[in-house]
């Protein structure tokens, strides 16, 4: 890892483990161009890739032809209004109502380490393992400065980028778009890959050819959303899971986001990511700064799988924080699907007693313990324990659970307010709303205006009081509706466009405060299932609930898409009861356990009521979790076969970093008559090492397992699964 500047070539070069990123500065005005991002280069100068010698590209040679330069030069951070007609990374409206910005290099700085982003999630690193380049660009007319920041990390092929805008002039400017990162490349017949979905169907993989024009994936829901992830990958046409060049971009942000790709007239491809400019506006007064969220760009020459493993490594070592980052999480049992709102102390203790006897380590009390929350029509905001349900009080319940040797966790939905609540009766003005318009309900609730410090503080104090009242070691932070009717009673008319982002900043401030004041708390984010499964939330919580769909077969696709970017250690996954509450499917308890093993692992069922033969399997599953979780949490993940593609079976494996051990999960989704065993080629092992498959006598070379493969016997029946444990002999 290194960052250098060559005065001769007028290029900045960022070197990663196996990749390089080159930025070139051209002509007297100092336009900042993108020269290269790809496999690691030698010391040679590649400034020729900027094509400045090709007429009529050079502005100082032909000032009249400046537009043809601007309209095809590979910009590092493109602006609008002066002749680059492709998508711009930044849009500014000045005091006179004009929209033009020209950014040229003013200064730069290279340093060891990486600065934190105030109020925002970001990757972090030490002076030993991180280097940063800051380019200061300026528009001389408006006196607006833009600082582009680039960080690289030891051993990881990723660049973390963000953008800061500073108004150094005397008049306010309106920011209408500020992308975190943008990159211009030559098309190589790329495909684009995105993750789309819906409630209970989150993060399904979608790969299509990249067409001419603008294509984007975005959210305007105030959260990253179930529907479209803040992510896109560009893949060489022939790239597969294991070979070919792949570029991934992921935004570390939990609000409105947009990833956009624009394939233009000269087969140039512009890829960018940032806060969605739709419904965004930010008034920047003289002397003020605007900080964008961070976006991470990953390069892989080892196909899609290589990209995933790079994201996993980066997020596990440079994003997730706290003591649980590297720790096995307690196996939890959550009462949501077990009881919904119909529970009390006795029911919870009955579940806890049975669960602790089976080896489960934590009871999580979900929605319904506060105010008069007997159903989802009421009480959000009234964070006082309902002692009709929680008889004897919360401390009694927690103490009783602790006496069983179990930890205790609790659910909150801090950002919400029910119109039918004490809080709303006192503070109707605290809800997000447009004066004169009745704000729309979703799940019978409104959203608190988290941009306001007094509301954040109120919510925080209520939560903290509950957490201090008993030995609570885990919080599930839920959020069950998108933001609509966007209006804050605290913002002036010209600043209403700031609400979406200010809301997210308020959310981050609150979560930061929570994990600072309760450093031993295990926080799990959640949003009506997986509507806020994003890298922004991972900065605050080491795990996120993946989906309300706990069906083992649906989960194969949801977890496959999630693991495309996010580490398995972050994927909230539970074994639930059947027929499954989301799809009505019946799958074997064993398969449900094997699939949940790929995530944080836990249960979401009434353990006192499930069939005896299922209950009797739990101690074995608990052992399985303890045996394999270190490997799953910290290993390298390889996709072998996808049910989404073959409609028959799914297979993936995790390999220990030192390649001494691996775990293969095989799920035969649909049984097939008259079939022999299936040959599976393993991945990621050391070719020269000798391995054994647990339960078998013979040994295999790693090369044999990867080239010749293993035979997985045909399993009779649908939805059956098998774990194959490979150990160095
Ligand atoms: C949505 C979550 O995803 C569920 O797990 C559960 O906590 C409910 N909300 C409770 O309202």
- Of 15, 478, 577, 636, catalytic: 478
**What would the mean pLDDT of 477-497 be, rounded to a whole number?**
97
| Confidence check: pLDDT of 313 > 60 | yes
SS3 assignment, position 542: coil
Q: Which residues lie with the beta carbon below 6 Å from any ligand 1 atom?
A: 336, 366-367, 411, 478, 480, 526, 528-529, 545, 548
- pLDDT for 63: 55
Strands, E assignment, 168-291: 173-186, 190-196, 204-209, 213-219, 231-236, 246-252, 257-263, 268-275, 282-284, 289-291
**What would the mean pLDDT of 96-107 be, rounded to a whole number?**
97
Block residue for tokens 């319940």: 397
Catalytic annotation present for 548? yes
**What would the mean pLDDT of 161-183 be, rounded to a whole number?**
98
Quote the mean pLDDT of the chain.
Answer: 97
Residue 439 tokens, joined: 């704000």
15-74 pLDDT tens trace: 999 999 999 999 889 999 999 999 999 999 999 999 887 765 555 555 557 888 898 899
pTM score, two decimals? 0.98
SS3 assignment, position 415: coil
Per the CB < 8 A criterion, the answer to whether 93 and 99 are in contact is yes
Give Cα 393 distance to the centre of its chain. Answer: 37
Whole-angstrom Cα Rg for the chain? 27
Give, as one character, the DSSP assignment of residue 241. S
Residue 88 banded pLDDT, cuts 50, 70, 90: very high
Give, as one character, the DSSP assignment of residue 493. G
Nearest protein Cα to ligand 1, atom 6? 336
Ligand 1 centre distance from Cα of residue 528 (Å) = 6
Rounded Cα gap, residues 397 and 390, in angstroms:
7
Ligand 1 centre distance from Cα of residue 253 (Å) = 22
Ligand 1 centre distance from Cα of residue 27 (Å) = 57
User: Closest by alpha carbon to 469, among 328, 369, 343, 544?
Assistant: 369
**What would the mean pLDDT of 349-362 be, rounded to a whole number?**
98
Residue 197 tokens, joined: 């979905």
Ligand 1 centre distance from Cα of residue 600 (Å) = 17
- pLDDT for 52: 84
- pLDDT for 59: 58
Catalytic annotation present for 549? no
**What would the mean pLDDT of 580-598 be, rounded to a whole number?**
98
Rounded Cα gap, residues 271 and 249, in angstroms:
8
- Of 84, 313, 449, 548, catalytic: 548
Residue 152 tokens, joined: 């690289």
User: Closest by alpha carbon to 278, among 50, 530, 501?
Assistant: 501
Nearest protein Cα to ligand 1, atom 10? 367
C-alpha torsion 482→194→293→33, nearest 10: -150
Per the CB < 8 A criterion, the answer to whether 311 and 250 are in contact is yes
Per the CB < 8 A criterion, the answer to whether 331 and 359 are in contact is yes
SS3 assignment, position 661: strand
- pLDDT for 28: 86
Residues of the chain by 3-state class (helix, strand, coil), percent to 5 = 20, 35, 45
| Confidence check: pLDDT of 75 > 70 | yes
- pLDDT for 721: 98
**What would the mean pLDDT of 151-163 be, rounded to a whole number?**
98
Block residue for tokens 């002076």: 127
422-444 pLDDT tens trace: 999 999 999 999 999 999 999 99
Ligand 1 centre distance from Cα of residue 112 (Å) = 43
Give Cα 120 distance to the centre of its chain. Answer: 14
- pLDDT for 576: 98
| Confidence check: pLDDT of 291 > 90 | yes
SS3 assignment, position 694: coil
Atom of ligand 1 nearest to the CA of 526: 3
109-142 pLDDT tens trace: 999 999 999 999 999 999 999 999 999 999 999 9
- Work out the burial of residue 565: count CB atoms within 10 Å of its CB; fewer than 13 is exposed, 13-18 middle, 19 or more buried: buried
- pLDDT for 32: 98
Rounded Cα gap, residues 532 and 253, in angstroms:
9
Atom of ligand 1 nearest to the CA of 547: 3
Ligand 1 centre distance from Cα of residue 244 (Å) = 40
Rounded Cα gap, residues 532 and 228, in angstroms:
11
Rounded Cα gap, residues 208 and 218, in angstroms:
17
Give, as one character, the DSSP assignment of residue 527. B
216-225 pLDDT tens trace: 999 999 999 9
Rounded Cα gap, residues 491 and 124, in angstroms:
32
3 state SS for 313-332: HHHHHHCCCCCCCCCCCCCE
User: Integer distance in angstroms from the first to the last C-alpha of the chain?
Assistant: 35
Ligand 1 pocket, mutate which of 476, 529, 548, 550 (most atoms under 8 A from CB): 548
387-409 pLDDT tens trace: 999 999 999 999 999 999 999 99
Nearest protein Cα to ligand 1, atom 9? 528
Ligand 1 pocket, mutate which of 369, 418, 475, 478 (most atoms under 8 A from CB): 478
- Give the dihedral sign, CA 77/81/85/88: positive
Residue 462, phi then psi, degrees to nearest 5: -65, -45
Ligand 1 pocket, mutate which of 378, 545, 602 (most atoms under 8 A from CB): 545
DSSP string, 132-200: EEEEEEEETTTTEEEEEEEEEETTEEEEEEEEEEEE-SSS-EEEEEEEEEEEEEE--SEEEEEEE--TT
């Amino acid at each position: 890892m290194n960052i250098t500047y060559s005065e001769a070539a007028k290029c900045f070069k960022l070197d990663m483990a196996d990749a390089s990123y080159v930025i070139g500065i051209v002509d007297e005005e100092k336009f900042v161009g993108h020269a290269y991002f790809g496999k690691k280069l030698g010391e040679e100068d590649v400034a020729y890739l900027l094509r400045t010698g090709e007429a009529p590209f050079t502005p100082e040679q032909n000032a009249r032809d400046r537009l043809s330069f601007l309209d095809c030069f590979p910009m590092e951070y493109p602006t609008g209004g002066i002749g680059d007609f492709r998508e711009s990374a930044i849009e500014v409206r000045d005091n006179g109502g004009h929209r033009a910005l020209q950014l040229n290099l003013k200064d730069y700085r290279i340093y060891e380490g990486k600065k934190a982003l105030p109020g925002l999630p970001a990757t972090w690193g030490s002076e030993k393992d991180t280097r940063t380049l800051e380019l200061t660009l300026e528009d001389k007319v408006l006196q607006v400065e833009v600082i582009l920041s680039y960080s690289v990390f030891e051993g990881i092929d990723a660049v973390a980028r963000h953008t800061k805008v500073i108004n150094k002039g005397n008049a306010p400017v309106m920011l209408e778009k500020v992308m975190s990162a943008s990159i211009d490349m030559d098309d190589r017949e790329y495909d684009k890959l995105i993750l789309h979905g819906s409630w209970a169907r989150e993060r399904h993989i979608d790969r299509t050819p990249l067409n001419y024009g603008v294509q984007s994936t975005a959210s305007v829901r105030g959260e990253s959303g179930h529907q479209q992830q803040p992510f896109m990958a560009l893949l060489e046409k022939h790239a597969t899971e294991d070979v070919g060049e792949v570029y991934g971009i992921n935004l570390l942000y939990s609000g409105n986001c947009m990833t956009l790709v624009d394939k233009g007239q000269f087969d140039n491809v512009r890829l960018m990511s940032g806060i969605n400019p739709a419904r965004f506006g930010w008034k920047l007064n003289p002397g003020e700064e605007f900080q964008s969220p961070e976006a991470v760009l990953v390069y892989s020459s080892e196909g899609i799988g290589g990209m995933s493993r790079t994201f996993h490594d980066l997020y596990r070592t440079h994003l997730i924080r706290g003591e649980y980052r590297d720790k096995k999480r307690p196996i939890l049992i959550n009462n949501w699907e077990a009881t919904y709102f119909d529970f009390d102390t006795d029911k919870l203790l009955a579940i806890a007693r049975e669960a602790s006897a089976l080896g489960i380590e934590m009871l999580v009390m979900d929605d319904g313990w506060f105010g008069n929350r007997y159903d989802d029509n009421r009480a959000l905001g009234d964070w006082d324990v309902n002692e009709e349900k929680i008889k004897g009080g919360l401390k009694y319940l927690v103490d009783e659970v602790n006496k069983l040797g179990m930890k205790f966790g609790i659910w909150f939905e801090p950002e919400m307010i029910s119109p039918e609540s004490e809080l709303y009766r006192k503070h109707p003005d605290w809800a997000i709303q447009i004066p004169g318009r009745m704000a729309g309900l979703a799940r019978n609730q409104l959203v608190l205006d988290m941009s306001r410090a007094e509301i954040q503080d109120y919510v925080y104090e209520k939560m903290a009081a509950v957490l201090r009242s008993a030995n609570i070691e885990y919080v599930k932070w839920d959020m069950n509706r998108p933001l609509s009717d966007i209006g804050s009673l605290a913002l002036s008319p010209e600043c209403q466009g700031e609400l979406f982002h200010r809301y997210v900043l308020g959310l981050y401030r609150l979560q930061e405060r929570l994990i600072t004041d309760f450093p031993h708390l295990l926080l799990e984010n959640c949003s009506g299932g997986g509507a806020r499964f994003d890298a922004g939330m991972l900065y605050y919580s080491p795990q996120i609930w993946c989906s309300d769909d706990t069906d083992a077969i649906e989960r194969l696709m949801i977890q496959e898409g999630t693991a495309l970017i996010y580490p398995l250690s972050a994927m909230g996954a539970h074994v639930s009861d059947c027929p499954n509450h989301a799809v009505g499917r019946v799958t074997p308890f064993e398969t449900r356990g094997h699939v949940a093993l790929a995530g944080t692992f836990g249960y979401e069922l009434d353990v006192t009521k499930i069939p005896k033969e299922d209950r009797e399997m739990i101690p074995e599953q608990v052992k399985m979790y303890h045996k394999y979780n270190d490997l799953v949490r910290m290993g390298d993940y390889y996709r072998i076969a996808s049910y989404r593609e073959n409609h028959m079976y799914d297979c993936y494996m995790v390999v220990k970093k030192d390649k001494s051990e691996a775990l293969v999960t095989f799920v035969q989704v649909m049984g097939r008559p008259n079939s022999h065993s299936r040959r599976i080629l393993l991945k990621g092992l050391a070719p020269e090492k000798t391995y054994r498959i647990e339960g078998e006598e013979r040994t295999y070379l790693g090369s044999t397992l990867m080239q010749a493969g293993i035979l997985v016997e045909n399993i009779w029946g649908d939805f059956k699964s098998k774990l194959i444990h490979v150990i160095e002999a």
